Amino acid sequence: MHPLVLSQRYVCYMKKKIIIDTDPGQDDAVAIMLALASDELEVVGLTVVAGNVPLDLTCRNARMICDLAGKPETKVYAGAKKPLNGPQVTAEHAHGDSGLDGIDVFDPVTPLQEKDGIDFLIDTIEDHPPNSITLCPLGPLTNVALALTKKPSIKTRITEIVMMGGGYFIQGNVTPSAEFNIFADPEAAEIVFKSGVPITMFPLDVTHKVLANKKRIDCIKAVNNSASIALANMLSFYGRYNSKKYGEDGAPLHDPTVIAWLIAPSLFSGKACNVEIEVNSCLTRGATVVDWWGVTGRKVNATVINEANADGFFRLLCERLPKLS
């Protein structure tokens, strides 16, 4: 067999099948586009959850992102419109009223599938061989928790959950102790972290090391296709809020770190830890209690990422965006 043919077959065989669970969000847009532009990944579908904005808007935004990427064939499914318990929390203060401020809203061509997102998660995991589907939650963990609760047997079939959420030394961005994705549905996060499914967690501590400053946004825009121009405009809007709030040189790209790790794990490093979710305290509800130094003796349940090669991340992103429209 010709070596090139062998190589092509090997790459195809090694593709990671992923489901992205998302609440777009400008940084979600970067994550989704990076995934759709990467041959190492097969995006089996997007499940959408209420989060940065309500569900009707996150569903529209996910479909807009697929259009902008030139991937209208991507399957998009609506999931949970509210958390398991407590009031709904949204983040228009960071993402704008549309959730994707920085670009003009339009009616997307990418259709919303009729099937419920939670049922899609369950059926897809069951229909594939064990350990062949990786879940990539980028927002509140409601959809994933509902799927695990409705069909507990899928726990042993999921390869891993690679998710953005939480914090430990940085702690919170919506309360002094809680990051938005976890705070928006702490009960769901508790179910996921107690599930026994292998978890890789990207907390604020690492995402604030991956900043979209003006120079990096200019490099994205210079790719000069519809996807990159839209991302540059979204990140310019997103960066204004974050720079004012944190005094940092640019916006932290939270969600794309999940996808970048699946493609190029050498860009990141972390540590196996026990992570517990605080659900009861009025002061620290939604906190991720990370036993970084192993002082509790509790069983390890997550790999917590704390370091990133930001320049390498942006090189990867700008290398992949030309593959989109």
Which candidate, 228, 212, 315, places its Cα nearest to that of 266?
Answer: 315
Asked if 320 and 71 count as a contact pair (C-beta separation under 8 A), the reply is no
- Catalytic residue, from 93, 95, 208, 254: name it: 254
Q: Is 142 helix (H, G, I), strand (E, B) or coil?
A: helix
Q: 95 an active-site residue? A: no
DSSP-derived secondary structure for 202-220: E-HHHHTTSEE-HHHHHHH
Question: Is the peptide bond between 166 and the residue preceding it cis, with omega within 30 degrees of 0?
Answer: no
Which candidate, 206, 214, 210, 149, places its Cα nearest to that of 179?
Answer: 206
User: What is the C-alpha radius of gyration for the chain, rounded to an integer number of angstroms?
Assistant: 18
- Characterise 201 by phi-psi region: left (phi > 0), alpha (psi -120 to 50), beta (else): beta
Q: Which residue has the tokens 């003009």?
A: 104
Catalytic residues, which ones? Answer: 254
